[in-house]
Chain A
């Protein structure tokens, strides 16, 4: 990393817990933008996104003490933000954006460069190929639970299906992914 922060996120959260608004401003500067970006990919109403990010940072201000210094601050904030958005979107199904799994070629103006492809692949490796082979329903569940960190219940709320359905789909999706990964590894040898 080129810009190693002098003050860590966790230290800033501790300062926020003591009522330091400058620390809150700094945390917003560090995390506000990507939270907006990530939420905007899930909801196409910027007003909702603005309110959710506001709620998230106000919740941070009020509940900074509750941050257990184990995980990453970013992941913690994302957890608060996305949960708030899911509960807000329960009545606003019209603005929910579900990821476009089969990304229509026409919209893909920019393909990741070969190098990017390889390096992004490091994040998931053969998992991406496995994900691509899943049915859209299964992928939506994997996205909500595994990548976005919702509980099965919250994922059900987001996707408009029952919790048990989410559990079943997740279970089957994981089984399929496992098979896909094993096959891929055998292919390497």
Chain B
């Protein structure tokens, strides 16, 4: 396209009627093409527009540009095109914060190391820690009651079941891959790397079902205590290091998990109270 005659500029009356929308489309388009290339006329347009409008836009740009970067979970959730409200809920989950995940990773690493150092005879540390990592993660997704963010969430008009499932899913997604990788490094029968998933996945619904009655903290304590008793008890009774995750026991976990899911489903059906986080 031509660049127009050098030195010609749209006069203020023409620009004013352009801004008022009084020009027909072709003259308007001509003005537009000229203005988008002409420094002087661009400035002239700026003088004809309401300064408040331009200032309002700039204020928004400045705020967006100067606000600190969002926490990583929020950015990730945005990239995955999750709705903003969901992203905030996830970001507020305490166990999705870096410190918690690093803690879980370190615990599991030491457990794996212990199992490794014992030459595969002592699997108890790994079996203790691996299923409890997601369970405690889900429980810890609910920050302390005095956390202001938690207070906000408790009053948010957000389906209770949806909130719980969402947080649980997010915790499982963030904790399970790490645990699975470490599971591969544990000495012992090859199926062990996947066997811990049985109790891990059934204990999560058990925790959620219990939490509905006694709150997440106490429920986590009960589940941890029971699981520790199973693992330590089997070691003490010399039932064999892999006893807690053998086929018969897996069946029991599965049954427990299904029962817990049923409890959650029934409670979700009867109690439609929104908001309250567990």
Contacts and interface: CB of A to CB of B under 8 A. Distances in A.
Interface in B134-156: none
A1 B27 contact: no
Interface residues of B, number: 51
A116 B24 contact: no
Contacts, number: 155
Interface string B1-43: 1101110101101101111011111111111111111111111
A122 B4 contact: yes
B40 A3 contact: yes
Given A32-B54, A33-B46, A103 B25 contact: yes
A100 B29 CA distance: 11
Contact of B25 (A40, A99, A123): A99
A108 interface: yes
A108 to B, nearest CB: 6
Interface in A20-60: 21, 24-25, 28-34, 36-38, 40-41, 46, 50-51, 53-54, 57-58
Contact of A37 (B6, B45, B56): B45
B49 interface: yes
B66 interface: yes
Interface in A77-110: 78, 97, 99-103, 107-110
A138 B11 CA distance: 30
Nearest to A103: B24
B61 A34 contact: no
B168 to A, nearest CB: 33
B74 to A, nearest CB: 15
Contacts of A40: 19, 21
Among B34, B36, B43, residue most surrounded by chain A Cβ atoms (within 10 Å): B36
A145 to B, nearest CB: 13
Given A41-B28, A110-B17, A119-B8, A33 B22 contact: no
Given A108-B23, A108-B24, A32 B46 contact: yes
A72 B58 CA distance: 22
* Chain B contact residues, majority secondary structure: helix
A57 B61 CA distance: 7
Contact of A28 (B28, B49, B61): B61
Nearest to A32: B54
Nearest to A4: B39
B64 interface: yes
Contacts of A1: 6, 38-40
A99 B17 CA distance: 14
Contacts of A122: 2, 4-5
Contacts of B6: 1
B57 A32 contact: yes
B49 to A, nearest CB: 5
A50 B10 contact: no
B65 interface: yes
A147 B5 CA distance: 19
B53 interface: yes
A109 B64 CA distance: 40
Nearest to A131: B26
B269 interface: no
Given A21-B65, A103-B24, A74 B54 contact: no
A34 B35 contact: yes
Given A54-B64, A116-B10, A116-B11, A101 B53 contact: no
A58 B64 contact: yes
A103 B33 contact: no
A109 B40 contact: no
Contacts of B65: 21, 24, 57-58, 61
15 contacts: A5-B39, A24-B61, A33-B45, A34-B35, A34-B41, A34-B45, A37-B45, A54-B64, A72-B36, A72-B37, A103-B27, A110-B14, A110-B22, A122-B5, A123-B30
Interface of B: 1-2, 4-6, 8, 10-11, 13-14, 16-19, 21-43, 45-46, 49, 53-54, 56-58, 60-62, 64-66
Q: Which 10 A-B pairs have the closest CB atoms?
A: A103-B24, A33-B46, A99-B25, A110-B17, A120-B30, A54-B60, A57-B61, A58-B64, A101-B25, A123-B30
